[in-house]
Amino acid sequence: MPDVRSDQDCRRLIATLEKPVYRGCFALIYAYGLRIKEAVTLPVTAIDSKQMVLHVIGKGNKQRALPLIDSVLDMLRDIWKIHRSRTWLFPSRRIVTHLPDATARAAFNKARSACGFDEKFRPHSLRHSFATHMLQRGVDIRIIQLLLGHSSIRSTEIYTHLSEPLRENLRQLLRQTTDGLFEGRRPKNG
């Protein structure tokens, strides 16, 4: 079962990250359901502000184009103004290489401890939480599959576990579907 956290917990952890590069990296991971490697290795050229697209290279060198929204573009520009790397969206301290994922994980773990969260809350939990929250908001699983870069719908189906809010939404839909269905004439025996 994937580790899924509430939107509030994800936001709280991200807000606890002190350095803008770390905060921006994990905000992007949560906003798009990225894998940590996909985020830390994003080149500046991944942003197409004319088409409003973020190009991500995923597993198996598969590229996906994600819709870029203004607030994310503004956040990425603000971070870039701090480091001004010509190559990387999230550079290392030396600027010439991308942020090592071990360094990003260490920053995440420090923020996790500061928030008092358990060790099951890992960077990948942000990806799981993103997918689950999208599903809870009614986004079609095939769209989530595309966003996550899964080649098979089976990989995405792990997010279809019925969380309590999802179960309650399903109950509501079932009530609407069956409302009045069992009223009226009862069938005769025999």
What are the residue numbers of the active site?
Answer: 35, 59, 124, 127, 150, 159
Q: What is the DSSP letter of 162?
A: -
Q: How far apart are CA 139 and CA 160, in angstroms?
A: 11
Cα 24 to chain centroid distance, Å, stands at 13
Q: How many Cα atoms within 13 Å fall on the side-chain side of residue 187?
A: 3
Q: Helix (H, G, I), strand (E, B), or coil: what is residue 172?
A: helix
CA distance 166 to 121: 21
User: Using CB atoms within 10 A of its CB, is residue 159 exposed (0-12), middle (13-18) or buried (19+)?
Assistant: buried
Kindly report the backbone phi and psi dihedral angles of residue 125, in degrees, each rounded to the nearest multiple of 5, phi listed first: -60, -30
Tell how far CA 97 is from the center of its chain: 24
